[in-house]
Amino acid sequence: MVHSNIVFRSILTLALLFTGLVFTNGTINHIQLVRAQTISTTINEYPVPKGSDPWGTTTDSKGRVWVALPGCDPSPMCSNTTPP
SS3 at position 2: helix
pLDDT digits 0-9 by tens, 3-62: 888 999 999 999 999 888 877 777 777 777 766 655 555 666 777 777 777 778 888 888
Q: How far apart are CA 19 and CA 22, in angstroms?
A: 5
Q: How far apart are CA 82 and CA 65, in angstroms?
A: 17
Rounded Cα gap, residues 32 and 45, in angstroms: 24
Cβ-contact 83, 46 below 8 angstroms: yes
Residue 76 has pLDDT above 60, yes or no: no
For the chain, domain boundaries: 2-68
